[in-house]
């Protein structure tokens, strides 16, 4: 049985998320890419040089963890090195989306404070976590992939300097799409607040109490399993 037939439901969801990214203008032209781990050594990944609004079930590519194409007639995204690093360094991860949501991307080019590293909204704290800025690297290169190394085990979402956003998730591709939406709406509100005044942050106690919410909702701790002991340590590092 072909992978396309075996994983028809996952492929359908994958192509729908491609279209959702385009509809919400989180990607433009042929930009952005995404992947979905289906087996320990099988990844569903978006094709190169195809607008996300046009991606069909016949366009998707299946690769292994060495980057070799297992099924599909198109070439996979040129960001394969980045995805191979993610799945190697974070075996808990099932899906990844890289895109360019315009409000979130403001913080990828802003010289000032990265407000996405600060606790502002409860939902964003509990579900996305802090979003560090990964140093710039030329797209489609191993250097860009390797620039994530200091961050990838501690966080689940990353601003790529002068480039875009990448979010990892231990859940399916629809859940990762939800996380992109959560972060983009948060970015809009933060930027609007900065335009008219100052941003109010949640306190250490607020963040600590949100761990109760995470337990109630069965949300995993941000980062690779066992790396982070608390959300307070993530948002207030080095403060004791």
Report strand pairing: 133-134 vs 157-160. parallel
Give the whole-number percent of the chain exceeding pLDDT 90. 96
Q: What is the pTM of this model?
A: 0.96
176: its two tokens: 């990762």
Domains and CATH numbers, the chain: 3-233 (3.40.225.10)
pLDDT higher than 80, residue 226: yes
- Spatial distance between the Cα atoms of 57 and 72, rounded to a whole number of angstroms: 10
pLDDT level of residue 240 (50, 70, 90 thresholds): low
Whether the Cβ atoms of residue 201 and residue 125 lie closer than 8 Å to each other:
no
pLDDT at site 1: 87
Give me the pLDDT at residue 15, please: 98
| pLDDT over threshold 70, residue 119 | yes
What is the reported pLDDT for 58?
96
pLDDT in tens, 66-78: 999 999 999 999 9
Q: How many residues are recorded in the chain?
A: 240
Yes or no: say if 183 and 101 are a contact pair by the CB < 8 Å rule. Answer: yes
State the average pLDDT over residues 80-93: 97
Task: Inform me whether the pLDDT recorded for 237 exceeds 80.
Answer: yes
Could you give the CA distance from residue 58 to residue 72 in angstroms, rounded to a whole number? Answer: 7
């Amino acid at each position: 049985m072909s992978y396309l037939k075996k994983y028809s439901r996952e492929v359908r969801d994958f192509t729908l998320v491609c279209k959702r990214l385009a509809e919400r203008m989180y990607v433009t032209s042929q930009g952005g890419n995404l992947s979905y781990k289906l087996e320990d050594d099988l990844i569903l990944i978006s094709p190169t040089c195809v607008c996300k609004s046009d991606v069909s079930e016949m366009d998707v590519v299946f690769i292994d963890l060495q980057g070799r194409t297992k099924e599909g007639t198109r070439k996979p995204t040129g960001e394969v090195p980045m995805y191979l690093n993610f799945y190697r360094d974070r075996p808990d991860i099932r899906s990844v989306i890289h895109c360019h949501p315009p409000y979130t991307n403001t913080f990828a080019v802003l010289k000032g404070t990265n407000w996405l590293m600060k606790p502002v909204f409860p939902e964003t704290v509990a579900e996305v976590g802090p979003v560090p800025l990964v140093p710039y690297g030329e797209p489609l290169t191993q250097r860009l992939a390797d620039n994530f190394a200091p961050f990838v085990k501690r966080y689940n979402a990353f601003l790529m300097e002068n480039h875009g956003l990448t979010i990892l998730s231990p859940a399916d591709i629809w859940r990762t799409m939800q996380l992109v939406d959560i972060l983009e709406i948060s970015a809009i509100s933060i930027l609007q607040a900065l335009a008219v005044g100052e941003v109010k942050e949640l306190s250490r106690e607020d963040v600590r109490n949100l761990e109760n919410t995470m337990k109630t909702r069965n949300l995993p701790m941000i980062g690779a399993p066992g790396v982070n002991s608390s959300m307070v340590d993530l948002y207030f590092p080095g403060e004791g």
